[in-house]
């Protein structure tokens, strides 16, 4: 049976060069980075060289990077620090953020009674920047804005520069969940000075269970995990040194090849959209995912003309992996909170599928998926 993986927004296959890099590291560099002997020093050097490599790519200081177990922990670390350490009492966000942000905000509201305000969205899920500006005119409370760079379900890209300018003009902090954007968009933290951002290695062909947070220099960091002084006291726990090194390697490969890979995947996405429109009646693309100028090249959210409750199951039987929303939503019986927010009730009842692509996908795979969809639907 064929196997086609079109769920790269959930996770990506690990690059073969990264696998080799990690396994070599595991065989030759097993020391604890906190140990003072030569084995520990060698491991510590690998971790710090990885930190410097990532900092060079992002054009920031290595001291601003804190390694974590992934994007969700990084979001938690930043948001908890905003409230408990930086004394933020109001956070402005949106209804379609990743649950790593939304659920953390709910917890912070319950524990610390902070104010959560949500910026208006248009029918495509775009931020209403004028409403954001209006919300931030009230500067009586210390405020943070938390808006994701690329939406993981519909692919919408935030106007990062505009939000940075609005936040700067209103003297508020800005955090962005950049998990789906890093290695898909160019990131230069000197040109786009976000106060806080996050990353997760498995979104750009690196290993799972490792990521990082960026805290702009000058902001102190209090840990949410206690028990050790690792990461300069910002995060207790022995560093996942092999995966940290693998993450740095994966990010280096992804950024070095970004231009060519973007062109190839854009071509694949455009081809897929044309094939869908030519073979299925009344097809729609959720959010801005059907617009190459306003969405990321690797995500396409497709809405069919009716409800096909077994569509994903039948695709899986044919060896094709896709998603009804984010992978984090797959166990929910409430559907996608993103689609439920931006679609009408009638539209939300129709079947939507998120297809997401990587450098390993091909035009032939698109043709095979179209053939499978026609067999299932027709």
Quick check: 106 pLDDT over 60? yes
**Mean predicted confidence (pLDDT) in 283-306:** 97
Quick check: 23 pLDDT over 70? yes
Between 328 and 32, residue with greater pLDDT: 32
User: pLDDT tens across 179-216, in order?
Assistant: 999 999 999 999 999 999 999 999 999 999 999 999 99
Please confirm, yes or no, whether 60 is among the known catalytic residues.
Answer: no
Please, what sign has the CA dihedral across residues 146, 57, 52, 217?
A: negative
User: pLDDT tens across 54-64, in order?
Assistant: 999 999 999 99
DSSP string, 250-306: HHHHHHHTHHHHHHHHHHHHHHHHHHHHHHSTT-EE-TTTT-TTTB-TTEEEEE-SS
Quick check: 369 pLDDT over 60? yes
Q: Among 20-34, 90-104, 315-329, where is mean pLDDT lowest?
A: 315-329
Pair type for strands 196-200 and 211-215: antiparallel
| 185 burial type by CB count under 10 A (0-12 exposed, 13-18 middle, 19+ buried) | middle
Residue-level pLDDT at 138:
84
User: pLDDT tens across 140-177, in order?
Assistant: 899 999 999 999 999 999 999 999 999 999 999 999 99
Residue-level pLDDT at 331:
46
Helices (H), 183-257: 241-256
**Mean predicted confidence (pLDDT) in 324-352:** 80
Q: What percent of the chain has pLDDT over 70?
A: 97
* Cα gap 356→298, rounded to integer Å: 5
**Domains of the chain, with CATH numbers?**
4-12+258-377 (3.90.1150.10), 16-256 (3.40.640.10)
Element (DSSP H or E) covering residue 211: strand 211-215
Residue-level pLDDT at 2:
86
Q: How confident is the model at residue 264 (pLDDT cuts 50, 70, 90)?
A: very high
Quick check: 139 pLDDT over 90? no
Catalytic, out of 14, 116, 328, 348: 328
The Cβ of residue 36 has, within 10 Å, a number of other Cβ atoms equal to 9
Give the mean pLDDT of the chain: 96
């Amino acid at each position: 049976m064929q196997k086609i993986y079109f769920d790269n927004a959930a996770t990506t296959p690990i690059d073969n060069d990264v696998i080799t890099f990690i396994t070599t590291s595991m065989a030759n560099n097993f020391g604890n980075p906190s140990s003072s002997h030569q084995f520990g020093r060698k491991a510590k050097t690998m971790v710090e060289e990885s930190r410097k490599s990532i900092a060079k790519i992002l054009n920031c200081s290595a001291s601003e990077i804190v390694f974590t177990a992934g994007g969700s922990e990084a979001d938690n670390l930043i948001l908890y620090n905003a409230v408990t350490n930086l004394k933020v009492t109001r956070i402005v966000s949106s209804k379609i953020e990743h649950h790593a942000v939304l659920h953390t905000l709910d917890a912070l509201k319950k524990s610390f009674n902070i104010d959560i305000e949500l910026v208006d969205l248009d029918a495509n899920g775009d931020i209403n920047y004028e409403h954001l500006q209006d919300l931030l005119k009230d500067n009586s409370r210390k405020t943070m804005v938390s808006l994701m760079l690329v939406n993981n379900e519909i692919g919408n890209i935030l106007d990062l520069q505009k939000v940075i300018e609005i936040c700067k003009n209103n003297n508020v902090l800005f955090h962005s969940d950049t998990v789906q954007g890093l290695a898909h968009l160019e990131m230069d933290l000197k040109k786009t000075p976000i106060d806080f951002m996050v990353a997760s290695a498995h979104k750009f062909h690196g290993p799972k269970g490792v990521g990082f947070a960026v805290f702009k220099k000058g902001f102190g960091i209090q840990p949410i995990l206690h028990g050790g002084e690792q990461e300069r006291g910002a995060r207790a726990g022995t560093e996942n040194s092999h995966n940290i090194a693998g993450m740095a390697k994966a990010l280096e490969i992804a950024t070095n090849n970004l231009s060519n890979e973007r062109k190839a995947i854009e071509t694949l996405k455009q081809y897929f959209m044309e094939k869908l429109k030519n073979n299925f009646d009344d097809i729609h693309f959720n959010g801005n995912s059907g617009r190459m100028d306003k969405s990321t090249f690797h995500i396409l959210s497709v809405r069919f003309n009716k409800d096909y409750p077994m569509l994903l199951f039948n695709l899986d039987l044919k060896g094709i992996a896709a998603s009804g929303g984010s992978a984090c939503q797959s166990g929910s019986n409430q559907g996608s909170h993103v689609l439920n927010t931006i679609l009408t009730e009638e539209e939300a009842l129709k079947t939507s599928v998120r297809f997401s692509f990587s450098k390993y996908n091909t035009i032939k795979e698109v043709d095979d998926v179209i053939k499978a969809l026609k067999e299932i639907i027709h």
